[in-house]
Amino acid sequence: MLVLITYDVQTSSEGGSRRLRKVSKVCQNYGQRVQNSVFECIVDSTQLKTLKLELESLIDKEKDSLRYYRLGNNYKTKVEHIGAKQSIDLEDPLIF
């Protein structure tokens, strides 16, 4: 399924920049950045649970926020892109 993850980490607080980098790195392990603080991740339900546990252990729940949008398996009809920075299809073969 495609999951859209958005986050807002308060970088003005102590350790905020470090939390931001860690959240970004975890998201990069599961998907691709499509905008600042927005990632598209194709995961199964087990991977999503693991991803959520990893991210929620990193943030400060009093200052930061995470949002998960589950777009499901038929996401290709639900996502429309206009403008620069076209993303790659994560399910296409990767050719070097």
Under the banding of pLDDT at 50, 70 and 90, the label for residue 12 is very high
Tens digits of per-residue pLDDT, 31-73? 999 999 999 999 999 999 999 999 999 999 999 999 999 987 7
Q: 64-67, long-range: CB within 8 Å, 24+ apart, which pairs?
A: 64/7, 64/8, 64/9, 64/10, 64/16, 64/19, 64/23, 65/7, 65/8, 66/5, 66/6, 66/7, 66/23, 67/5, 67/6, 67/7
pLDDT, residue 20, reads: 96
Is the pTM higher than 0.85? no
19 vs 80, residue with greater confidence: 19
pLDDT, residue 96, reads: 61
